[in-house]
Amino acid sequence: MVASKKIFGIVLAGGEGKRLMPLTADRAKPAVPFGGQYRLIDFALSNLINSGLTQIVVLTQYKSHSLDRHVSQTWRLSGLLDSYVASVPAQQRLGKRWFSGSADAILQSLNLLRDEKPDIVVVVGADHVYRMDFTQMIEAHIASGLGATVAAIRQPIELSDQFGVIDVDQNDPTRVERFLEKPIDAPGLPDAPHEVLASMGNYVFNADALIDAVTRDGERTDSNHDMGGDIIPDFVNREDAGVYDLRRNDVPGSTDRDRYYWRDVGTIDSFFEAHQDLISTLPIFNLYNREWPIFSQQLNSPPAKFVRDAKGNLGTVIDSIVSLGSLISGAHIERSVLGPWAQLESGARVVDSVVFDRVQIGPDAVVQRAILDKNVLVRPGAQIGVDHDRDRARGFTVTDSGLTVVGKGVCVEP
């Protein structure tokens, strides 16, 4: 069924990501490093590519240089048979203005759809961590005969006020009755009263229906021009929206533990917790699924290396991920994720932390419950995450849960 349709992918990657500051001070949210060697956008693009989509555009806007470079360097398809992943910045096609919302981003990029003339358009966010076979969702969408389908994941009903919640038709749970934005009294599902369906920010549209919806939305003065807040409710009001429960999706190679994993990493705390999901013996999200790989830039780097320090002390690494190019000399690493080319010297301790590319941590330094952006230099004996008042006094971000975040290129003195 899908083979007879022309499918086009749109990745919405213009997000500013204010709640991830300072990690987004110099880059768009989808370009934030994740899991050692990846960027957040790699998960959305990997899902689309693994699902067989070969024409994909990435709509960018906010501080997009790092993101545009990553897409161009990493996601080069062969160019045969019109296959491509292309980064498309805001072009001001409808006047001297930038994108005013995700729906407006599509409205200002309708030339892409008119050029390719697809039958079906898959629209996804660029900053969620998950695996999903969109082919199965597309098949369900086509079978429904509806103009739009929203991907949704089951969540405990007590968390409904954190999501856009889909209230389904009691007689047909594949159709959307109402779309509720962070409700405090959401109704439970017919087959699971203790659960709700939360929108994943992924959609499948009939191309003509999407073009009509964003065009009409662009003429409204009372709209925020948002896909989830305006476009989907418009389809719901016209009884033309369906819902696709992620539990219907079977990704090759997935396990019972990570089959329905999806996480919005929109805050520092959720970003950190998603990293913790990677490092357990039986990970909640498994990066080692060869049947549905997460692709990213392949760095020209040597393997990670673990050596004794000058005194003969051999460091320890427990429940952690260490990326290519890293050099660990007599240091202790526990429940942490280290990005490429990290360097830890004798006696350094890194516990419950996320370390980005090319971070250097000197002898006897301590890093605990912290996130260090690229090129941070931690001087010998310096401490991060030990004294929160001192961290704040040095200008570091400290979350309510006690996570310390150090911005890019900072030198941390003892």
What pLDDT was estimated at residue 83? 87
Residue 65 is predicted with a pLDDT of 87
Q: Residue 96 has what pLDDT?
A: 66
Residue 363 is classified by DSSP as T
206-223 mean pLDDT: 91
Q: Shortest CA distance to 18 belongs to which of 70, 66, 63, 71?
A: 63
215 touches 109 (CB < 8 A): no
Which amino acid, residue 396? F
What secondary structure does DSSP assign to 6-45, as a single string?
A: -EEEEEEE----GGGTTTTSSS-GGGSEETTTEETHHHHH
Handedness of CA 194, 199, 202, 204 (dihedral sign): positive
Lowest mean pLDDT among 115-119, 134-138, 153-157, 174-178: 174-178
Binding-site residues for alpha-D-glucose 1-phosphate? 164, 181-182, 199
| 356 contacts 33 by C-beta, under 8 angstroms | yes
The pLDDT value recorded for residue 209 is 95
Q: Is the pLDDT of residue 33 over 90?
A: yes
- DSSP, collapsed to helix, strand or coil, labels residue 192 as strand
| pLDDT at residue 372 tops 80 | yes
Give the pLDDT mean for 308-313: 85
* pLDDT at residue 98 in the model: 66
Would you say 181 and 164 are in contact if contact means Cβ atoms under 8 Å apart?
Answer: yes
Which tokens sit at 169? 């038709």
Give residue 127's pLDDT band: very low, low, confident or very high (50, 70, 90): confident
What is the reported pLDDT for 94?
Answer: 61
Domain 2-276, CATH among 3.40.50.2020, 3.90.550.10, 3.90.1150.10, 3.50.50.60: 3.90.550.10
Q: Is the dihedral of CA 39, 40, 45, 47 positive or negative?
A: positive
pLDDT surpassing 70 at residue 158: yes
Residue 249 clears pLDDT 80, i.e. is over it: yes
* Coil vs helix vs strand at 160: helix
The predicted pLDDT at position 139 comes to 96
What pLDDT, on a 0 to 100 scale, did the predictor assign at position 190? 81
Which pLDDT value is given to residue 41?
Answer: 94
User: Confidence class of residue 70 from pLDDT cuts 50, 70 and 90?
Assistant: confident
Confidence category of residue 378, pLDDT binned at 50, 70, 90: very high
Question: Which residue positions form the known binding site?
Answer: 164, 181-182, 199
- Distance CA(105)–CA(59), nearest Å, equals 7
* Least confidently predicted of 29-43, 93-107, 177-191: 93-107
Q: What is the pLDDT of residue 338?
A: 97
What pLDDT, in 10s, does the model give residues 71-110? 888 888 766 668 888 888 877 666 666 676 888 889 988 9
- Grade residue 309 by pLDDT with cuts at 50, 70 and 90: confident
pLDDT at 119 over 90: yes
Structure tokens of 278?
């990677």
Domains 2-276 and 305-412 agree in fold = no
- Fold designation for 305-412: UDP N-Acetylglucosamine Acyltransferase; domain 1 (2.160.10)
CA dist., res. 372 & res. 357, Å (int): 9
**What's the rounded Cα separation, in Å, for the pair 93 and 215?**
14
**pLDDT band at 226; cut points 50, 70, 90:** confident
Mean pLDDT of the chain: 90
What is the reported pLDDT for 79?
63
Domain ranges (residues) in the chain = 2-276, 305-412
